[in-house]
Structure 1
């Protein structure tokens, strides 16, 4: 007898957001408020409190250089440590433990800033603890978001990451408006104390979700990593055979797939070698540019409203225009150039971004020339420089992250993300070196006033010329548009 029963399709339940997500996003918003809040006033505070408390014009050059050196060293340390934090989490502790324990160190660092605002030595200890905290968790927080998803709700990942990055920008924008006001009206203890309270709240929020997190256990020490394979190849260079690359000598001792992946990393490093100069200049917008603002006319007249900006508040222009420019470039500028027959490849975008960064510094140098001549230029000129710098950031920073992801196989994407952060550290170490030379009356002391900015314009111009010569000769392998690349690295035959 034939069965005539109709089969009714079972409706799948709609995907649900992981319950841990609100705790992660709340933690990130509060943590970013604390980090950007203390950083936006750091340089001005160091000058006013420690290096030139009497506002003596004769001490200004050395004092500014000392404050800038301290700020850039702090940033360099904060962006160098994610590489270490990621390894510790993956090998020994897992992400949850390192985020929680390092957050406590982070809170202690903020406490030191607030308690020791008249003691430079202990204040610097506080900065080091904050750098350890910010750097230690930076490589873990965003990947912890992805860990919360499985096949049932993976379609929601992009939306959650959208909210995650919104929380970052919301925290940073709110803090760069509020904390300078608090510093100006209530002093350093409150201005550094409130970010510390926010970091404590961030830690409590993260701890509150402890029973809800999906925790990926640590894998133990993995010898097949970038550092071990690179060092082995270097110390066994004599084993290299004709026709082999240097890294091929490691294939007998290490996983050949990992060795091939590390080859891809070094190809990307040829591009990343040009990125530190961008960060060396970009991070001056949060230090050297802030000092310049002290000499500008910060009165804003919008017709319907008039007010005076505080020097440290002008940095808020950057995230505002950054968020505005991302869709403008993705849906307007890039398609327009493509239609004109000018393909906007990642390397061309990076080159254009370096050029715009240099242009923003031309404006800053011209502003400084006016200041050096006794002028009092409007803050609008620096806002214009911020707008151009933000466009350069879209072209360099966002494109660089995309390039790191697409040009590396799956096994190396985490490594590439950590190396990308190291370019920020390298750029700030250049700033540390230059400012240290100025404060100790070394070679770079001759570049004062506008000359300081023209120095960096010359440096990025040289990098740009070199980039235009080298970039057309770089080999590119996109592991996203050409998935067979990953299979080739793994030694598998692609499906037909």
Structure 2
């Protein structure tokens, strides 16, 4: 039976088998996505589906389901909270609160306002920030396991969001001064810093919703392709795979809108009091949870988790590790081994296929650690560099990272509406793997530019390679080194471009290349490279001090460019496999239990080793 393929021109992997629908099935009422948000399309004609097999109709992305907007609100609020508050953490931890005399100089225009509270220094600030990032990117694994194993996505999102809210309330309390000095300078007690650490732990645990939201928003895209007749009579195929790609582009755009709002609000409010800044994330999460619950009747409701997928996966992997064999289907291996060993093989045949696809999908993630090492500098060392450069009085050093989400909001529509279509019209394949390789390289180039700018700072008066420190080793109260802050536009522009190519494409890849039963887990594993990068930064954070920042930027830049080349050498065969599949006819036999896995280009009867 010939199948109607739903391939994306911007994806290097076909949709999973459940997203492939035969012409006969398309004409059946039972295959319409009744359990999904209905696509409002009065011109839809299901009787025309057979024409898609014989006519070369154009394939276009469909509308984003209404349910997707309810779901995106939670992720936008989570990113608003995460980026808004974390952009103030460096100042909160590293610098002391400015005295009344210093504030008088600020009002006179002779000194830049430098918010602060705990006065723990640059190394401690970078260490706690990386610890916070590590917690936020590890917790999605636990959330994914709970969602896939027991609770389901909806219930898990609600519970983790409530925990997330509690964390922001704790953070707000930790930022309230315990008293004030005689001149009005706020004083923070001994309990402030431990309470802050407890708050970021709770927030990190609640951040597990990230992997669930990124899967839920794509789950609500109808799986069946159909023909849409436009007003001018032109027929086109609404392609689910293209729709998923569009969903992730605008999903990424929306969370950067949240980031811009959060960073603007929090960095503005920190100028008067940090606790006011942290009320913004708490209030945004209250609104997000309410909106998410309001849309519960619109969400696609998959089968209730029975706990078998995760546990059977663990049993299957543990059995293979114990026996030191490559994975085989139960139907193949039950003829060998003792009766007791046969009883241990309780996993279904389909699970072995899913594990193969999962391993294939996850194989690209480790090398992304190098990229996230470079990317994470914008929330730590680049903020420190901004404090050492000349800037307007109204511009805090921790407002500068706002350039990244602002540039993303401007550039994402350009990539989606101009660059990608321009490449497609010229038949230039720009698949996710190619985009990721280029994105990693751009991340490295951005760090090399940051290294050059930092070298310029170290060669500028008045403090040269020890900015903001006077000859006695005390914090300086004068002006920063004479280098304009606007030089940082260069690395931030390159970082924004790299994020569109590498990070947004990784989200799409994690969803499309993973099996339905393990999508949340793969989405969580896709976040592990960022967590690993934070752990590495945590270890080397004592070295992140003047005058060594040029070396750190340069090393990260060189590693990222090298990683880009290694990435393409290791995984270009996956891109080539997909190129062959795009030009070939795909057939299947529904009466056989062994089918070709179209998402990763391997047969389920083959072993699980990754070439």
Please state which band the TM-score falls in when normalised by the shorter chain. 0.7 to 0.9
Asked if 1:182 corresponds to 2:287, the answer is: no
Q: 1:484 Cα deviation (Å)?
A: 4.6
Matched, 1:450 2:550: yes
Matched residue, 2:198: 125
Distance 1:153 1:188, change over 3 A: farther
- Tell me by how many angstroms 1:291 deviates: 1.6
Structure 1 partner of 2:127:
69
The aligned counterpart of 1:377 is 483
* Residue pairs, 1:239-254, within 5 angstroms: 240=325, 246-248=326-328, 252=333, 253=345, 254=347
Question: TM-score, normalised on structure 2?
Answer: 0.64
Residues 423, 430 of structure 2: 8 Å contact kept: yes
Aligned partners of 1:40 and 1:176 also within 8 Å: yes
Are 2:88 and 1:41 aligned?
A: yes
Task: Give the greater-gyration-radius structure (CA).
Answer: 2
Q: Tell me the alpha carbon deviations over residues 202-242 of structure 1, each in whole angstroms, 9 at most, x when there is no partner.
A: 233334455665554531212466544333322220xx3xx
How far, CA to CA, are the matches of 1:14 and 1:134 in structure 2? Answer: 42
Any conservation in 1 of the 2:148–2:518 contact (CA below 8 Å)? no
For residues 561 and 506 of structure 2, what CA distance do their matches in structure 1 show? 19
Q: Is the 8 A contact 1:267 1:475 kept in 2?
A: no
Aligned to 1:416: 522
Unaligned residue ranges in structure 2 (runs of 5+): 1-39, 45-62, 103-112, 114-118, 176-187, 227-237, 334-344, 465-480, 598-611
In the other structure, the counterpart of 1:105 is: 163
> Which of 114, 138, 150 is the equivalent residue of 2:210?
138
Deviation at 1:260, TM superposition (A): 3.0
Matches within 5 A, 1:34-433: 34-48=81-95, 63-117=121-175, 118=188, 119-135=192-208, 137-146=209-218, 164-184=251-271, 186-209=272-295, 215-216=301-302, 218-223=304-309, 226-237=313-324, 240=325, 246-248=326-328, 252=333, 253=345, 254-299=347-392, 308-330=394-416, 332-333=418-419, 343-373=429-459, 374=464, 375-410=481-516, 412-433=518-539
CA, structure 1 residues 31+308, in 2 after alignment: closer, same or farther (shift >3 Å)?
Answer: same
CA displacement 1:420-470 (0-9 Å, x = unmatched): 1122212222212221x538xxxxx89823122122223324434533543
SS at match of 1:491: coil
Contact 1:361 1:385 in 2 (8 A): yes
The superposition leaves residues 302-359 of structure 1 with CA deviations (integer Å, 9 ceiling, x where unpaired) of: xxxxx74222222222223223333444555556667889754544433322221111
Cα distance in 2 for residues equivalent to 1:337 and 1:161: 19
CA RMSD, aligned part only?
4.1
Q: Is the 8 A contact 1:24 1:145 kept in 2?
A: yes
With the length of structure 1 as denominator, give the TM-score of the two structures: 0.78
Seen in structure 2, the aligned counterparts of structure 1 residues 327 and 209 have a Cα distance that, compared at 3 Å, is: closer
Contiguous gaps of at least 5 residues in structure 1? 1-10, 56-60, 241-245, 300-306, 440-444
1:298 Cα offset (Å): 2.2
Give yes or no for contact 1:79–1:422 (8 Å, CA) kept in 2. Answer: yes
Check 1:398–1:490 CA distance in 2 against 1; reply closer, same or farther (3 A cut). farther
Could you say if the C-alpha distance between residues 474 and 38 of structure 1 is closer, same or farther in structure 2, counting changes exceeding 3 Å? same
Q: For 2:322 and 2:329, how far apart are their aligned partners in 1?
A: 10
The aligned residue for residue 477 of structure 2 is none
Residue-pair matches, total: 457
Larger helix proportion of the pair: 1
The answer as to whether partners of 1:147 and 1:215 remain within 8 angstroms in 2 is: no
Would the aligned equivalents of 1:357 and 1:392 in 2 still touch at CA under 8 Å?
A: yes
